[in-house]
């Protein structure tokens, strides 16, 4: 049955490619989806005292929380015995996987939600980062080169065993709180002095509790603010098919929950989805499957990317 589904998927993609035309643009790279720390940072007072999280008996100082080679494990009973590469990394070149993706695997907007993703998919992505056909020079290319195949396999299998949960709430708005991108983790945070601004043509993800999010608490999620009408437009695009040719569910399964070794989109950080659509369009993500995806998304506009990402993020993982 799995062979039949994969064969049908491949046939559908070949059919789409045969009907596709070359994109009229070099691709879209919306700056808001690729967070870079703002040059001007607000003054934020931070205590050096140990922090505690609701429901956790653990306590960590800010210095311990920011140790990317030994991230906090707030809820030990939930994670069991993670592989060393997840908990400690391989210093100095490979950070602990749990520092960016959290011990839950669901990560922050500037990283990725990999909880419950197929192990084969994660292994393939690490190979693509290692070879350079998938580019993330800030983090993953260097990390992938420093990690052994054995560690890649153990981390992939461990994250595949994590159960995803609703982590992002999608909210359609015209106005939202003013924010900035922090130097700590490239996370977008609400400005301490308040204020509001128009959403414009973008997606803005903000932590529901900034202190808990910056403390790497896997129990405190995010709200994604999107333009009004985005979710309905994205649902129509996903079901009718991009370019009226291929439905997203053909590849990513019912409810976009994944199919075989094709990853889920449901419940992911929407700015991550936009980054990936952009990377496919511009060729930053290469390789066989990425070449197929580049054709699939070749004619997407920025509005289309926002709508698809908002819709996928709004679904139950």
DSSP 189-234: EE-TT--EEE--SS-EEEESSHHHHHTT-TT--EEEEEETTHHHHH
Closest of 141, 137, 139 to residue 127, by C-alpha: 141
Angle (CA) 52 66 165, round 5° = 65
User: Would you give per-residue pLDDT tens digits along the chain (317 residues)?
Assistant: 444 444 444 444 444 333 333 334 468 899 999 999 999 999 988 899 999 999 999 999 999 999 999 999 999 999 989 999 999 998 888 899 999 999 999 999 999 999 999 999 999 999 999 999 998 888 899 999 999 999 999 999 999 999 999 999 999 999 999 999 999 889 999 999 999 999 999 999 999 999 999 999 999 999 999 999 999 999 999 988 665 557 888 889 999 999 998 999 999 999 999 999 999 998 887 665 667 788 888 889 999 999 999 999 999 99
Closest of 32, 29, 105, 79 to residue 264, by C-alpha: 105
**CATH fold of 62-160, please?**
Cytochrome Bc1 Complex; Chain D, domain 2 (1.10.760)
pTM: 0.89
Cis-peptide, bond into residue 92, ω within 30° of zero: yes
Residue 132: alpha-carbon gap to chain centroid: 19
Interatomic CA distance for residues 82 and 74, integer angstroms: 13
Which residue intervals of the chain bear CATH 1.10.760.10? 2-33+229-314, 62-160
Q: Report the length, in residues, of the chain.
A: 317
Angle (CA) 155 140 286, round 5° = 105
- Is the CA virtual torsion 212, 205, 240, 248 positive or negative? negative
Please give the CATH number for the structural domain made up of 2-33+229-314. Answer: 1.10.760.10
Interatomic CA distance for residues 174 and 198, integer angstroms: 6
Interatomic CA distance for residues 80 and 214, integer angstroms: 23
Closest of 186, 167, 178 to residue 204, by C-alpha: 178
């Amino acid at each position: 049955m799995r062979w039949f589904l994969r064969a049908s998927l491949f046939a559908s993609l070949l059919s789409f490619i045969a009907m596709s035309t070359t994109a009229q643009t070099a691709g879209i790279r919306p700056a808001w989806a690729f967070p870079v720390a703002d040059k001007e940072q607000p003054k934020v007072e931070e205590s050096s005292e140990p922090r505690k999280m609701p429901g956790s008996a653990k306590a960590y100082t800010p210095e311990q929380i920011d140790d990317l080679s030994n991230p906090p494990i707030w809820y030990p009973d939930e994670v069991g015995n993670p592989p060393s590469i997840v908990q400690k990394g391989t210093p100095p070149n490979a950070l602990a996987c749990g520092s960016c993706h959290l011990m839950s695997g669901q990560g922050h907007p500037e990283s990725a939600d990999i909880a419950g993703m197929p192990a084969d998919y994660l292994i393939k992505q690490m190979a693509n980062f290692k070879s350079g056909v998938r580019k993330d020079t800030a983090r993953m290319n260097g990390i992938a080169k420093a990690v052994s195949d054995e560690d890649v396999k153990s981390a992939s299998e461990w994250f595949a065993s994590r159960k995803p949960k609703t982590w992002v709430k999608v909210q359609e708005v015209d106005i939202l709180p003013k924010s900035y991108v922090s130097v700590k983790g490239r996370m977008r945070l609400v400005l301490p002095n308040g204020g509001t601004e128009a959403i414009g043509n973008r997606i803005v993800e903000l932590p529901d509790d900034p202190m808990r999010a910056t403390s790497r608490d896997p129990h405190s999620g995010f709200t994604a603010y999107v333009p009004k009408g985005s979710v309905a437009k994205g649902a129509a695009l996903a079901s009718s098919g991009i370019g009226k040719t291929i439905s997203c569910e053909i590849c990513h399964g019912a409810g976009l929950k994944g199919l075989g070794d094709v990853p889920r989109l449901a419940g992911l950080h929407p700015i991550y989805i936009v980054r990936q659509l952009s990377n496919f369009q511009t060729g930053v993500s290469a390789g066989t499957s990425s070449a197929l995806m580049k054709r699939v998304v070749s004619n997407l506009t920025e509005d289309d990317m926002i709508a698809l990402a908002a819709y996928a993020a709004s679904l139950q993982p």
